[in-house]
Amino acid sequence: MWLKALLLSFCRWCNSSFFGHGIRDSVWLFPFVEIFHLIGLGVLGGTLLVLNLRLLGLGFRGESASDLEKDVRPWMVGSLALMLGSGFLLFSTEAVKMYGNWAFRWKMIFLASAIVYTFTLYRKVVRSEEGRIATLWRVVVAILSVLLWTGVGLGGRAIAYVTTSASSISISAR
Ligand code: HEM
């Protein structure tokens, strides 16, 4: 209950902030910020695709997964930072609406899970020496990565199609 109240007051603060207002009241700022959200999406998706194809043994076999991870790491971390920053700005324009938007909520659940997973178990397996980790386990780890990040992307795409009812924005005693 207190968490819902805290989240809703944070959303109200974002909504009435100068950057939330500024982007919302501008004709071109929202699409401009969304361009960066989509560029980040492409680069992040690309780095994950390279690493997961390597883990699945379907590509990039000329290099070990850990060497590939070293090469793509700055792009992965940089694009993730771009997604989080641009996403927060997009969110701030309609934060209260996002509070009641079930697609946004699922997106954030998938996003938190995908980030924790990518920087813990996934990174451990990617950096492990070839042959030390069973091939089947590398395949499972790659498939879970694809599923988690696809969940984030689908949630992001669905946001615009979900209408937010007034009742979903209130703090009910349910
Ligand atoms: C790596 C992380 C992320 C990924 C992969 C992602 C993915 C996406 C995708 C695919 C879209 C739909 C773009 C379109 O079709 O126009 C989208 C839109 C959006 N995302 Fe993200 N996103 C991420 C992080 C975030 C974060 C952290 C937030 C907020 C805190 C956020 C808020 C939004 C909002 C508000 C929209 C716009 C929905 C609309 O069109 O009204 N995103 N995102």
24-76 per-position pLDDT tens digit: 999 999 999 999 999 999 999 999 999 999 999 999 989 899 999 999 999 99
- Cβ–Cβ contacts within 10 Å for residue 79, how many? 21
Write down the pTM of the prediction.
0.89
At position 136, the amino acid (one-letter code) is L
Give the whole-angstrom CA distance, residue 123 versus residue 135. Answer: 15
What is the number of residues in the chain?
174
Q: Write down the pLDDT at residue 174.
A: 46
- State both tokens at 59: 């590509």
Give the residues surrounding ligand 1 with Cβ less than 6 Å away.
34, 37, 41, 44, 80, 83-84, 87-88, 90-91, 111, 152-153, 156-157, 159-160
Give the whole-angstrom CA distance, residue 53 versus residue 154. Answer: 21
Mean pLDDT in residue range 6-12:
94
Give the whole-angstrom CA distance, residue 15 versus residue 94. Answer: 6
Q: Write down the pLDDT at residue 136.
A: 85
C-alpha 31 – ligand 1 centre gap (Å): 12
Residue nearest to atom 17 of ligand 1 (CA): 156
Q: Is residue 170 scored above 60 in pLDDT?
A: no
For residues 133 and 125, is the Cβ–Cβ distance under 8 A?
yes
Give the whole-angstrom CA distance, residue 15 versus residue 13. Answer: 5
